[in-house]
Each structure stands twice: as structure tokens, then as C-alpha cells.
Structure 1
Amino acid sequence: MSNELQRAAYSVLLPAFAGLELDEVVCRYLNRGGVSILLGETRDEYLARNMSFERRRSETQAHFMGIAEEARARAGAPVLIAVDQELGGIQRLHRLVPGMPSADELKALSSKDIEARSYEMASSARVMGVNLFLAPIVDVVTGSNPWLHRRNLGPDPVEVARISCAFIHGVQRAGIIATAKHFPGHHQTEHDPAIARATVVGPMECLEDGLEVFRQVIGAGVQAIMPGPAVFPALDPLQAASTSEKVISLLRDTLRFDGLIISDDLDAVSILRDNSITDTAITALNAGAHLLLVSSESGLDEIAQAIVDAVEAGQLDRQLLFKASEKVRGMAEASRAQVESGLYVSYAIPGGHLTRRVTI
């Protein structure tokens, strides 16, 4: 494969792993053109909506700083360092950053207060090298949804939009990219999409509350959006949102979102739907996704090679791949440029706050 094409193929992958060490697979990915990593959590932590006691006891800010610095060095370029840092849900950074109020407590706070708390929390994360939050969750949940249980902001679209926009303003003011998820809004689903096929039933009218929230967060300037893992028969009866050209076209063309589109976990059963991970990755790119979330154990080299092969076989437009790569690299570069332009951030230390300039 050509070096340019190879680097583009690796750059559209977002590998997730649970620890704070770069193993051989991830190092090779970064050396070959990868520019994004997700510092994730274990399945048990995901289900518990809480990081393990051992993780909370042992991890430090220095660990995050170290892995971010190593990732940049191996890539030889700015790198997106992502975490799940949700409101009332999964908070990967646990005690290392100032805590956020619970979902119920957020409803009692003004938008100004939510933005201020979000800025303080995100500023701490930024010092640690993190520059991408896979948050907030903006799904307006009105029915059964075990997948988003204890992760969503409730059934009121006005409150979900208000809290989410305030969070986005605070986080992005601190220099971290916010990701609104999961488009177009999973108001109900009976199954966990990680382990079973999930469907959001109902006509288009049922999706309007969720779509209105996405209109609001797009208006607030959110820089990234993640389509979800379920199938929406009203939009596309065959493909999950993350691999559906119809769903992503709705986001891009109708809602006029021109930011970064990050797929949900392509390893999820509900997205794979008995297809291979390589075919699923190519489908997601053809649908319009820019950055593909996958497990670091899913075969990064094989996925990248399949993307290159698809381009050479005419199954994936070369310019579509290069545009996705440019979008990802541009977001990483812009994140670094914001810091180098003189962004100052503060983070909590015992007895007060320390403000420092950081280069990331």
C-alpha cells in the first residue's frame, strides 16, 4: 500500500483500551499514521457506571500526562486523547478532576453554574493531556432503555438541551472537544447494543424531541457528534445509525452539522449485525463517518489494510477517505494550536488551584 493511503487508513481509526499503557499494537498504529486513542474502561466498569476501586486508588494525573506525551511522540503529530466523561454516567477520570453534580442536581443549577463547573472539570482534564470528551449524552429517554440507564439526563428535551449546551460551552471553552451522542436520539431500546441487536421503533414523529436537542447542541457549537448503535426503521431499516448513510446525511445535510462525526463502537453486536469488522468499517466510512471507534484488540492492521484495499478496488472513494483523514487530523491540530496560542487552564490541587500554560 502507498504510504499516504496507509496513513490515511490508520488515521480514521479510534482504538479503545482500558489501561494507561501503549501496547505493541497501539504503538504500531501510532507509528503508521494513527492520531487518536480512547482511554476506556473495562466492561465491568462500564456496567457499574463507576471506575474500579483499584483504578481509583492507583491512577494519577501523571499517568495520563505520560501516555498523552508518549502517544504524541510516537505519532510525530498532534493526537486526540479521548475519554468518556459523561454527566451522571461513566466518568473515566474519576477523582482526578473536580466532580460534576448528578443528573438530578444539574436540573437545579443555572446554565451559568453548569458551564462554570464543566469548565473547571475540563480544565483539569486538559492539563492531563486529554482533549476529547465522548460526552455529553443528549438522548431524550422516554421509555425503557437499559443501555442508557443512569447515563441519561431524562425525558424533558428542554432540560436535556439546556444542560447539554451549558456543558458543551464550558468544556470547549477549556479547550476540549465535546461529542454529543447518540444521534439521532435513542428515546427507548430494549437491548444493550453491545451484546444484542437494538432497534428504536416508531415513526419519524417519535424522533422529533431528540432531533430538536441535536439542533440545539449544533447551534451551541458542539465540535463532534456520535451516531448511535441502534437501527431506526423510520430512517433506515437495515443499517445501525453509525453505519447508515441515510442517518448521517440527516445529520450533515439537514441539520447542517459540519464537525467531526465519530462512530459508536463498531465492535458492538448491534452495529456489526453479523458482518465483519472490516466490512463494517468500510460501510461506516462510505456512510460519512470520519473517525471509527474500535477496540484496540479488533485487528487495527487488518482494518487499515481492508480500507486501503477497498479504495484500490473502487469500493471506497479515495477522496472520501482523505477528507475524513483531514477532518480528524485537523481537529487534532486545532486542539494543539488552541493551547499554543496561549490557553491557560487551571486544575485543583490540595489547598487551592494551580494555573499553568500547557503545550499539548
Structure 2
Amino acid sequence: MSEPRAPGALWVDVAGTTLTEADRSLLAHPDVGGVILFTANYRDPVQLASLTEAIRQVDPELLVIADTEGGRVQRFRDGFTGLPPMRALGRAYARDAQWTLGAAEEIGWLLGAELLAVGVDVPLAPVVDVAAAVSAVIGERALSDDPEAVAELAWALIKGLRSGGMVATAKHFPGHGAVTADSHHELPVDERSQAALASELFIYERLIADGLESVMPAHVRYPAFDDTPASLSSTWLGEWLRGRLGFTGAVISDDLAMAGAAPGGMPSARAHAALAAGCDFLPLCHDRASVEVAVQTIAETDTGAAAVRRAEFSAHVRARQAGAIRLDSDAGRERADQARSLAAALIDET
């Protein structure tokens, strides 16, 4: 039996709750490796499961992604458990670390198990930015303002995600929490020194040592290191992430349609720049015209090393799913009741 091919580099979106013929044509392209789903793609769990199945009928190797963290970043709500903002875990950790680590693991499992039940493969979580009062876009998405607490809670969430059938994506490398600007709308600049950023790099070092599967770099510029945003920077992705921190997993760019990636040129050109810098997967959403350009040319920049990492990431995804404690199992039903109670308790405290 032949090995499955590596997924393509591009992750794209679709507009509605079902696939159009244009969607199917795009998803069949070998350089498309995944589909990111948003609230506009969701009506209810049955419809979502039908949509993910339709995506796999186009190509069974396509990954299905939903940027789902809890709190205000939860794409699917009706029919899914409401999850607390991650800062609620940080506040609880300050009162009772042991209880909160257990709760974080259960919430991570529930997040993953509910997504797996409807055919979603990757949640793009957790956020491991250190909280600072200046960042509204991160805000309650951050676990804590204490790097040690962030590392401990993130690891608990990751353990839960894994038992729910998910791989983890730590974001936004090396840290988005200390800037005021929102990288969706402009390029933030983090003026901190290398020494000041060391505590955030420590978080990644810890998680990488524990087998972290993927990292999402920030569309943020750090002049003390490089004049290029981290997502487009071979200094950050090559020298620091892979070199000094020893990361061997997949690097997933933040959405290349965001304004923070503008130094890379037009959105289709940003895909080439991100891939050349060291990204392996290239989300490009809400801009079908740019996707149509990128999909015709991205193979010119794609490398064998990136393809190998994408294949390894896909294998990790399937392995986590094979070992998952699923919602429809006896153990899963019992665990879900406990996890939902914990999530409700944490929401009540916010």
C-alpha cells in the first residue's frame, strides 16, 4: 500500500454551509492541504458533520481546521459546550493550581472531543501569549500574565486536547500579548529587548520538550531581533524556533490575508514569503481571488523539507484521532459530564 501524500501547503476557506462546485474544484488542487471553517460555515452539528464529510469526499487527505480556543474565539456555539475564556483558568490557577490543572486538562479534552465528533481535525489552540493589559486582541484569550502559569496550563490543555483526538498549536510565537495593535488590521511592533522576551521563549522551550506538534508565528515585528514580522522571518523561524529551541514540528502561519502580513506584499506573494521563511502551512482566507493566484504558483517555492513536515503533522493528527477518548464512548460520556460542569463553573466566575 502506498503512503498517503503530504497535504498541500495552502489552507483555504469556503463561504457557506455546503460546498459549491467552485469549492470542490479548488479543494481538489494538490497544493491545497486544508480547509478552515468559520461561524459562517456552521448551522448545527449535523450540518457541520455533513460539511466535513463532503470535504473529505473531495480528498480524504485534506485537513479540516477550526480556530477554536474557548471564550470569544469559539466558532461553533449552538450544540457545542460553551467554554470559558482562557484567562479564567489563569485566575483559578492563582487560587488553586492543582485543581485548575485538572480542570484545564478536562476542558482541553472536551474541546477536542466535540470537534472530533463532527469531523474537525485541528483546533489551532492553545494561545500561549503572556497577558499584558495593552493587548485588546489577546486580552482574555491569554492564560495568565505569569509565564510559568502559562506553561503549566498550556501543557494541561495540550494533554487534554491529545486525549480528545487533537494536536496542539501553540500561538502566537514568540508572543503577541505585549503590543497594542491588532495584527488583523495593522502590523504591531514589539519594542521589547531580547532579554525581556526570554520568558515567552521559555514557554515554547518547555512545550517543545514535551513534543509540541505545531507552532503559529505572530504577524508582529520585533526590532531587537529582526525587522521582518516573525511569520515571514527566517531569523525567527529558522535560527530561533528550529535552531535554538530545537522545534521539529509544523509551522502554521497566521492568516496571510491579515494586515500584519502586509510586508510580504500582496496576499498571494505573502504565501511565498512565509513558505520561504520556514512556514509549512499557509492559511489564506476570505480572499478567493488571491487563493486562486497562490494555488497556481506556490509549488515554485515549496520545498521537500516542508512537505515532509506536513506529512508528519498529518500523521500526528491521524494518530491522535486513533487514540482518542470519543464522546460517544462510555468513558467519553462520563468525562463530558464532568468537563461541562467544570467549564460552567469557570464561566460563572468570569
Separation in 2 of the partners of 1:273 and 1:20?
33
Shift of 1:344: 4.4
CA RMSD of aligned residues (A): 2.6
Q: Deviations over 1:323-355 (max 9, x none)?
A: 32332244234433554x564411599xx6699
Equivalent residue for 2:8? 11
Distance 1:25 1:194, change over 3 A: farther
Separation in 2 of the partners of 1:218 and 1:61?
33
> Are the counterparts in 2 of residues 347 and 354 from structure 1 also a CA contact under 8 Å?
no
Equivalent residue for 1:322? 304
Separation in 1 of the partners of 2:325 and 2:148?
32
Shift of 1:266: 0.8
> Are the counterparts in 1 of residues 88 and 143 from structure 2 also a CA contact under 8 Å?
no
> Are the counterparts in 2 of residues 79 and 332 from structure 1 also a CA contact under 8 Å?
no
Separation in 2 of the partners of 1:29 and 1:323?
24
Using the size of structure 2 for normalisation, the TM-score is 0.83
Q: Deviations over 1:4-52 (max 9, x none)?
A: xxx98x810011346433334432222112231110247xxxxxxxxxx
Separation in 2 of the partners of 1:89 and 1:209?
26
Structure 1 window deviating more from structure 2 (12-21 vs 246-255): it is 12-21
Separation in 2 of the partners of 1:162 and 1:347?
29
Distance 1:347 1:185, change over 3 A: farther
Equivalent residue for 2:56? 72
Percent identical residues? 26
Matched, 1:306 2:297: yes
Shift of 1:132: 0.3
Separation in 2 of the partners of 1:244 and 1:203?
17
Match of 2:231 among 220, 242, 261: 242
The residue identity in structure 2 corresponding to 1:326 is: V
Equivalent residue for 1:49? none
Q: Deviations over 1:98-137 (max 9, x none)?
A: 3333435423243123212321331121111111011111
Q: Deviations over 1:217-275 (max 9, x none)?
A: 222322111001111111111x2111110010211111111111000111111111371
Match of 1:172 among 162, 182, 195: 162
- Bigger proportion of residues as strand: 1
Separation in 1 of the partners of 2:89 and 2:314?
30
Equivalent residue for 1:48? none
Equivalent residue for 1:291? 281
> Are the counterparts in 1 of residues 166 and 320 from structure 2 also a CA contact under 8 Å?
no
Distance 1:223 1:193, change over 3 A: same
Match of 2:64 among 61, 64, 81: 81
Equivalent residue for 1:346? 327
Equivalent residue for 1:263? 253
Shift of 1:87: 4.0
The residue identity in structure 1 corresponding to 2:46 is: A
> Are the counterparts in 1 of residues 167 and 316 from structure 2 also a CA contact under 8 Å?
no
Using the size of structure 1 for normalisation, the TM-score is 0.81
Equivalent residue for 1:32? 29
Equivalent residue for 2:124? 134
User: How do residues 111-130 of structure 1 correspond to structure 2 at under 5 angstroms?
Assistant: 111-130=101-120
Shift of 1:143: 4.4
The residue identity in structure 1 corresponding to 2:282 is: L
Separation in 2 of the partners of 1:100 and 1:301?
36
The residue identity in structure 2 corresponding to 1:200 is: D
Shift of 1:179: 0.7
> Are the counterparts in 2 of residues 88 and 102 from structure 1 also a CA contact under 8 Å?
yes
Q: Deviations over 1:154-186 (max 9, x none)?
A: 311111111111111110122111111000012
Which residues of structure 2 form unaligned runs of 5+? 93-98, 337-350
Match of 2:138 among 137, 144, 148: 148
> Are the counterparts in 2 of residues 120 and 347 from structure 1 also a CA contact under 8 Å?
no
SS in 1 for 2:308: helix
Structure 1 window deviating more from structure 2 (15-24 vs 120-129): it is 15-24
